[in-house]
Structure 1
């Protein structure tokens, strides 16, 4: 919203506050003049201004929703009936005519809550009839209302109030019948509205029932007024029995009325807290969320246990929930979630009542988008890393084959040739020449051994032929310190085996060069779909991946295949290196 729009909103809210203050002041002055006590006036102001204050907050927080303006109107018109306590004819007539306007507005508020709009033909007709009843029926009643003769016709105890500027002389005899029909129609409207709300409640989901709670409080208020009217008209002497019973009814109705705006504010607070929960949604679901756990978290934040979450499956071209069923994008109560580049990610199938809180849905969608894009990016990074590792492993195998079949083979042929020359020169008189040939043979033999070691370091042939267990056993035999190996006799993916093998190589190298270990144990087991490789030495400990490139590179290598590396190396307590690699 731009600065001009914000200024307009502030002006509207300020005008509403001023109007509510003026109406409350005028109504309180008239109420005191009609004999109301200070306590009566305070309760009256509490009800009217509570509606106005709640309406201002609602209008400010949700300007597109009409609930706020309706609550302000309820707060302003709450005081209109009090104007019958004045001696000004025009004000008395205005108060008598529009005395029940706040009840029509309350009905409108209840039937349109929480969307702020009337969604059915019945509710629209009912509200129209209520406003028409107040406008036409209230006017007709005022025209035949002589306050000097019908002293008990209002809730005010004011025998000297009036006169009525709209009263038609000589028509007072009609007042009783008109007043009875007027109130009876009001009872009928209230009863039909109660039935409509009950039907809404019966067919509502849990999320909508939470939203309708203030409306149910409003129904209670309407019933209080209905009971009061029934007692007032069915028992004509009700007001003469004593002030205690009548004041109790007034107090009960006032307290119930105050509860409605506070219930609405509580609803706003609940929505605010829901949005606050969204901030922790990404952390809660993690970087690799389980669909069931993700749906549960979203349902809790949105307050909708019926929520269905469909994740986009490219191979099916559809949104699919945790049970494998498709979630369609057609119909109400659907919120699609797409990536920044337009790719479909997920679809929320929720209670349509949540559409009334677009800010909450937008926040949840943003959090879900972030979580799913993190998963997607992590998967892409894992795929890229895996391809890099596989490419590197393939390249090591190629180099090992090239060295074995190429350079190593040529060196062997050269060694055989030198040995033939050496045998031919066995009786040669030149001792220096025989010594040179012997030296050449020794150099070639050493070069072959070094080349074999280099090829073995790139990718040991035994690892390819026989698997991880025999390769670790061979590695232990070549180690410079005692190594005990316990490995299960099974094969794994070539990249996983290679990663596990070189993890042990790095651990043995560290144990021999830096830890001063006397012995090392190596284990390789299959646990819950993961290959767990662990080396434990009895060295000096204190290994820290932050101070050396070996362990850092090892952790990167393990992470590239979606594995996890754990290093436990307390000072003086040896070093335990554990790699967990997914292997299906």
Structure 2
């Protein structure tokens, strides 16, 4: 059984390498072709060995990275750097088309290297600026390299190529014989490469300074490459400033730089395979989930952190199948597809939790996946606790509304009891006194008639006071005819002219009652404290809210207290408390000398 398991594991490893076998063949072919052209240009055995070592080191590292981390594009760039390394050697062939291809793409490997530096180790550019630099590098080679190739005559100036081959060529792209123009284009082309190199370096410095210690350790391979690139820049500057004064130093520098570059892809690969950056980024996720991100945001963060753009985070609740951020079911991955599923359970019962569908290679780093699982569990617990807290908050906000609703119902009942009970009896008594006064003869005792008249007048006043009391408890017209009629009746009793603009329609009783007493208190404040000469009342629906505004032309200067214990009158405090009790919001705008605007938004749901 152990031999079978070992054989099965070995088979899986071979299956992982089979897709890159054509890559290996292509790398061997590119290296062989490049060495052939380099040899035709006059390169010796040592030159061929170091040239092949650098190109194949990048290609092999790219293939290993592609197998071990297939979701990460860094492996593709390493491989591309290995192949483009040999492109300039095509200038050694006497075939015009091959020479033209080599002359045009001589610096393509530098553009690929810049791309690699800017996206390592995530495999994709993190900012718009980085993406623009990548595009600029390839555009410089595509456009600038083509223009340079159109003007390049190797027979007239063989030193313009790093091969320095007097017998190379001819150039199939050579169209314009203008040596002066070629020299100018060549200088601009080289200095544009210098500028791009400096910009890439500055971007690396910014990333280094913004990174954590763990991220900086992972970025060390890119800094090795940056150092080598800067050495190329220095070499280009020296070559441009003093091409005749370097003597044989150029060969020494070339050998040292090429030999040192063999280590660059190896260091890149080692940093990529360690996945330390992934673990450091997972640590950053702990801070992110603390602000309660949504399902889709968490999935996007995991995709970026793990370098797997196809990662799916499925959340299940109540025993249902896991669903993605769009509510679609997340099917289990098919085993041969190179993907795997990690099931995450939390302490909410067997029917809850989440699943992570990810690239199978990520499962090789058990510490990384353990950290990711804990982050997702933390997010699930935080989401559940926040949902419970929101539910409790909703219930707590509903309590004052229910209490206020009950209070209003009691006020309406009390108003009806007063109207149907005490007011009715007092009215009957008043009518009885009127009949008694009518039946008293002219010769009746004047003192008796005076007493009856005083009793009638006192009863009238008591009846009016009782009606006002009942109206203050709950206006009968509000329940019968609605808010518009009630506010109109209220405006008619105000000693100051009041304009009422109320949209038709009925709202919940608690909302209408709150709006009525809000306007009533605001009118009283405007007359008593603001010395207003004119008042406007507006009531209109706004979505799920009823907006109530009371605007006067008084002295202004009113303001809501910052807290309940603030000094000052209780009028605005009472309004704010009344509106808050139904879940609404009250605002007061009252510049001195410009009147007061009181606005309340009352939820009707």
Question: When the two structures are superposed, what TM-score results if normalisation uses the length of structure 2?
Answer: 0.51
Aligned length: 367
Q: Is 1:495 the equivalent of 2:510?
A: yes
CA shift for structure 1 position 198: 5.8
Counterpart secondary structure, 2:529: helix
Which residue of 252, 256, 268 corresponds with 2:261? 252
Check conservation: 1:520, 1:537, Cα contact below 8 A: yes
Q: Is 1:270 the equivalent of 2:285?
A: no
Q: Is 1:466 the equivalent of 2:481?
A: yes
Query: Could you tell me how far apart the structure 2 residues matched to 1:539 and 1:317 are?
Result: 62
Query: Could you tell me how far apart the structure 2 residues matched to 1:400 and 1:328 are?
Result: 64
Which moves more between the two structures, 363-372 or 316-325?
Answer: 316-325
Which residue of 379, 383, 389 corresponds with 2:404? 389
| RMSD, aligned CA | 4.7
Query: Could you tell me how far apart the structure 1 residues matched to 2:349 and 2:425 are?
Result: 56
Counterpart secondary structure, 1:539: coil
Query: Could you tell me how far apart the structure 1 residues matched to 2:466 and 2:9 are?
Result: 90
Check conservation: 2:315, 2:322, Cα contact below 8 A: yes
Which moves more between the two structures, 382-391 or 299-308?
Answer: 299-308
Question: Which runs of 5 or more structure 1 residues have no equivalent in the other structure?
Answer: 1-119, 127-185, 203-208, 221-241, 286-293
Deviations, residues 339-393 of structure 1 (Å, cap 9, x unaligned): xxx6999865555566533453354345434532342122111222221122112
Judging changes above 3 Å, is the alpha-carbon distance between structure 1 residues 451 and 371 closer, same or farther for their aligned structure 2 residues?
Answer: same
Structure 1 segment 41-190 matched on structure 2, within 5 A: 121=9
Which residue of 440, 457, 463 corresponds with 2:455? 440
Counterpart secondary structure, 1:414: helix
Which residue of 37, 45, 68 corresponds with 1:197? 68
Query: Could you tell me how far apart the structure 1 residues matched to 2:258 and 2:449 are?
Result: 128
The aligned residue for residue 433 of structure 2 is 418
Deviations, residues 201-244 of structure 1 (Å, cap 9, x unaligned): 69xxxxxx987999x99999xxxxxxxxxxxxxxxxxxxxx986
Structure 1 segment 209-224 matched on structure 2, within 5 A: none
Judging changes above 3 Å, is the alpha-carbon distance between structure 1 residues 377 and 478 closer, same or farther for their aligned structure 2 residues?
Answer: same
Check conservation: 2:346, 2:377, Cα contact below 8 A: no
Deviations, residues 20-63 of structure 1 (Å, cap 9, x unaligned): xxxxxxxxxxxxxxxxxxxxxxxxxxxxxxxxxxxxxxxxxxxx
Q: Is 1:561 the equivalent of 2:582?
A: yes
Which moves more between the two structures, 509-518 or 548-557?
Answer: 548-557
Check conservation: 2:279, 2:371, Cα contact below 8 A: no
Check conservation: 1:217, 1:256, Cα contact below 8 A: no
Query: Could you tell me how far apart the structure 1 residues matched to 2:472 and 2:297 are?
Result: 49
Query: Could you tell me how far apart the structure 2 residues matched to 1:336 and 1:495 are?
Result: 45
Deviations, residues 84-130 of structure 1 (Å, cap 9, x unaligned): xxxxxxxxxxxxxxxxxxxxxxxxxxxxxxxxxxxx9459978xxxx
Q: Is 1:525 the equivalent of 2:540?
A: yes
Question: Which runs of 5 or more structure 2 residues have no equivalent in the other structure?
Answer: 1-7, 15-56, 74-119, 125-214, 223-250, 334-339, 363-368, 562-567
The aligned residue for residue 542 of structure 1 is 557
The aligned residue for residue 133 of structure 1 is none
Structure 1 segment 252-331 matched on structure 2, within 5 A: 252-259=261-268, 260-261=270-271, 264=275, 266-279=277-290, 281-282=291-292, 294-299=294-299, 302-303=302-303
Judging changes above 3 Å, is the alpha-carbon distance between structure 1 residues 301 and 484 closer, same or farther for their aligned structure 2 residues?
Answer: farther
Judging changes above 3 Å, is the alpha-carbon distance between structure 1 residues 192 and 540 closer, same or farther for their aligned structure 2 residues?
Answer: closer
Deviations, residues 553-574 of structure 1 (Å, cap 9, x unaligned): 3223222322221111222221
Q: Is 1:510 the equivalent of 2:525?
A: yes
Judging changes above 3 Å, is the alpha-carbon distance between structure 1 residues 243 and 210 closer, same or farther for their aligned structure 2 residues?
Answer: closer
